[in-house]
Amino acid sequence: MANIKDIARVAGVSVATVSRALSTPSLVRPKTIERIEAAIADLNYEPNHLAAGLRRQRSDNVIVAVPSIHNPFTSAFVEGIENVARANRMRVLLGITEGDLEALNKYASMIAGKQADGMILLETNLPDIVNNPPAQGKVPPIVAACEYPPELRLPRVRIDNLEACALVVGHLAELGHTAIATITGPIGQYMSQDRLSGYKLGLARARLEFNETLVAPGDFSLQSGYDAMVRLLDGGAEFTAVACANDEMALGALSALQHRGISVPDEVSVAGFDDLRFGAFSSPPLTTVHSPTVEIGEAAMRLMLDALLPADQQPPAREVILPHRLIVRQSTGAPGKRRRKG
Amino acid sequence: MANIKDIARVAGVSVATVSRALSTPSLVRPKTIERIEAAIADLNYEPNHLAAGLRRQRSDNVIVAVPSIHNPFTSAFVEGIENVARANRMRVLLGITEGDLEALNKYASMIAGKQADGMILLETNLPDIVNNPPAQGKVPPIVAACEYPPELRLPRVRIDNLEACALVVGHLAELGHTAIATITGPIGQYMSQDRLSGYKLGLARARLEFNETLVAPGDFSLQSGYDAMVRLLDGGAEFTAVACANDEMALGALSALQHRGISVPDEVSVAGFDDLRFGAFSSPPLTTVHSPTVEIGEAAMRLMLDALLPADQQPPAREVILPHRLIVRQSTGAPGKRRRKG
DNA sequence: TTGTAGGCGTTATCAG
DNA sequence: CTGATAACGCCTACAA
């Protein structure tokens, strides 16, 4: 492969001039640039990014840590991140953790190893380095695109899960439901807690009482939504609506109801959260909260770019909260059009 | 940040020994290794991957080119790729092309620029470099995890789309269907053609005639499946079953049927292709062909590792064909239990 | 506007 | 088993 020296020789200039022509063309005479570009085309030159990176101490990679990409929710985030990364000559390195803290820590160490310049978290875990910063040297650029405890001082982007869930419950209450169940995420996760709190807030605002037996925990997966719905149905407590902590579980719940021959929304209303594409095409189409997943990814990457700026022009770490909105489809309706069979 | 020199000094050895201790410990006296490891822990040393890469002319990155990651089908591939990449100390760089050839070419040039060591294609396009290899120098390592014209000599992994589609049609024919429609992918894409051919093959084997008016093209998206189903329904031609070229479109078709009040499978049977998770929880659950997407990704990455081996120990480029299997759920059944309404 | 030269942190060769 | 040292290809003062 041709290198910068070859180009310099062929173009009859010094390597410095070639380098400048490539990075700051304004400093080079147009005629010279022409000669250089001709040489580049001739020799099929491609700058060696490893060498440039070593010199600049920059890899131009961001590592995105996700529990799993096999999941429409996280992959939309990643798409957003990639969008703005690409526009800023950066690349996205995928780090799949499967929820393993050790894996996450290994990814975090890639920053010290110059494989990546920073990390975006779509995770529920937090790498150790955030809490135990190295004695000398500062914490590497880390951006959170996920719910974390509020006391954590990290640039972050999220939606208002609390209000969004309260909104869904409010919608159900307005329709006339008074016994509203919920299917939650894993109770250990911060985001699940947040959404559960939103559910409670919605109940309180509608002057409905919180009933522990109407809470069925899931793990955000289709199957867990199905299972939770079955538990709710068999639990004996009456309810006419279910607010699910995400669309996947809502879709699973829908499937369980259909399996039992319970009509939605006539007998039970179901609402989801996230606005997956699939929700618009379920039977019946799913009422949900639109979560601007792609935009969250884009905002996260922008925060990352900020964090990567030289220290003297770095804006203060901030929190971006993106707007959500209720999408009413046919899976929710007024209660009691028909009696429950069981 | 501490570098290898610091470690050498603190451990009282030369940099060469530190390097060896890290990469080929068998060549270093255990006691020496101990001292070195102590120093590494002390100084919190992390090898600079950029420097190592420059020296070895390796980035240890693979770039995965996909039209979009926001798609359960491709993201499962990526998950598989990441699995074996990680196990082999390589990283996955995401390249989203949105179907744009220029973007794909730019990603391909990252190999020459040492940002990546090779490329895995989940694309319908082909980078120019494959057809116009540079005068001197060989074609960079490229693996295809997607259908391409058979004359292309690329390491590749795929399933037998032809037989798989014929299998679905055979299943429908066995149930007694004689008028079987199909919803295809974009007709320009090789994979769509392949699956359409499989549909025709299935018909021929069942001694059913191919009927052009029963072919509705889509673009693999939910909405296009919905629209294609509507066109089929309004087209006037009678049919009792639809074989869709992927699950997304099948789910869209299901939604259209439900919207029209047409019962599945009593009035129309619907089959998909890919075995998305969502298909198992639709109403009714979707009959489909299981495509081992994660395994395809894993196999593709293994082929990539082969291609990255030094020339003298490189196995010949090969094609891996992974097995598929029919999954019968409730969206297909015997025809004519009920009359069509329209 | 251009050139010279030092150094980024490793690995690998060669010599002990 | 260990050490000295020459690359790897580029960027960026500094000098002209």
A48 C-beta less than 7 Å away from strand C: no
Distance, CA of B333 to CA of B267 (rounded, Å):
9
- Domains of chain B with bracketed CATH: 4-56 (1.10.260), 61-159+293-325 (3.40.50.2300), 161-291 (3.40.50.2300)
Distance, CA of A59 to CA of A61 (rounded, Å):
5
Q: What is the pLDDT of residue A137?
A: 58
With distances taken from each CA to the C1' atom of nucleotide D7, the closest residue turns out to be: B55
* Residue B100: both structure tokens together: 């744009």
Q: What is the pLDDT of residue B74?
A: 87
Flag residues of chain A having pLDDT under 70.
135-137, 337-342
Chain A residues 81-100 with CB within 8 Å of chain B = 82-83, 86, 91-94, 96
Burial of B241 (0-12, 13-18, 19+ CB in 10 A): buried
B157 touches chain A (CB under 8 A): no
Mean pLDDT of B72-78: 86
Q: What is the pLDDT of residue A232?
A: 98
Q: What is the pLDDT of residue A135?
A: 60
Residues in chain B: 342
Distances, alpha carbon A28 to alpha carbons A24, A49, A241, B288, in Å = 8, 22, 69, 61
Name residue B269's beta-bridge partners.
B241
pLDDT digits (tens, 9 = 90+) for B311-326: 888 888 789 999 999 9
Nearest nucleotide to the CA of B5, by C1', is C9
Q: Where are the alpha helices (DSSP H) in chain A?
A: 4-11, 15-23, 30-43, 49-56, 72-87, 101-112, 128-131, 161-175, 190-205, 222-234, 247-260, 293-307
The alpha carbon of residue B115 is apart from the nearest alpha carbon of chain A, in Å, by 6
Whether residue A106 contacts residue B86, with contact meaning beta carbons closer than 8 Å, is answered with no
Q: What is the pLDDT of residue A280?
A: 98
Nearest nucleotide to the CA of B14, by C1', is D3
Name residue B244's beta-bridge partners.
B183
Is B92 close to A91, i.e. CB distance below 8 A? no
Positive or negative CA dihedral for A308, A313, A318, A321? Answer: negative
Is the pLDDT confidence value at B29 over 70? Answer: yes
Is A69 close to B79, i.e. CB distance below 8 A? yes
Nearest nucleotide to the CA of A8, by C1', is C3
Q: What is the pLDDT of residue A106?
A: 95
Rounded to whole angstroms, the distance from the CA of residue B21 to the C1' of nucleotide C12 is 14
Q: Which helix (H) or strand (E) holds A322?
A: strand A319-322
Is the pLDDT confidence value at B340 over 50? Answer: no
Q: What is the pLDDT of residue A1?
A: 79
Q: What is the pLDDT of residue B274?
A: 94
Identify protein residues whose C-beta is within 7 angstroms of any atom in strand D: A 1, 3-5, 15-16, 19-20, 22-23, 45, 47-48, 51-52, 54-56; B 12-17, 20, 26-29, 31-32, 51, 54-55, 57
Positive or negative CA dihedral for B295, B298, B300, B302? Answer: negative
